[in-house]
Amino acid sequence: MVSEIFPLRTRGRGISMAVLTNFAANAVVTFAFSPLKEYLGAENLFLLFAAIALVSLVFIVTSVPETKGLSLEEIESKILK
């Protein structure tokens, strides 16, 4: 999906920024896991992760357009609406 949301002229830079953001989020989860586990307990920590996943799912279902069968130009026009 990441390669589909950027126009051709900015695709390389956009994908690089998306990968950097993904790595940063993974680092935050990795370094925060142990302190949060001690503070919240394992059960509550995983409930927190489940809540974040649920909010993400709701966002995706309600906000991300379907791109199946569309050209890159059609996808770009849908996203820029």
Question: What ranges do the domains of the chain cover?
Answer: 2-79
The angle formed by the CA atoms of residues 61, 64 and 69, to the nearest 5 degrees, is: 105
In whole angstroms, give the CA distance from residue 19 to residue 4.
14
Question: What is the structure's pLDDT at 29?
Answer: 94
Contacts of 67 (CB under 8 A, 6+ apart): 1, 4, 75, 78
Question: What is the structure's pLDDT at 7?
Answer: 76
Per-residue pLDDT of 34-77, as tens digits, reads 999 999 999 999 999 999 999 999 999 998 878 888 887 887 78
Averaged over 17-40, what is the pLDDT?
95
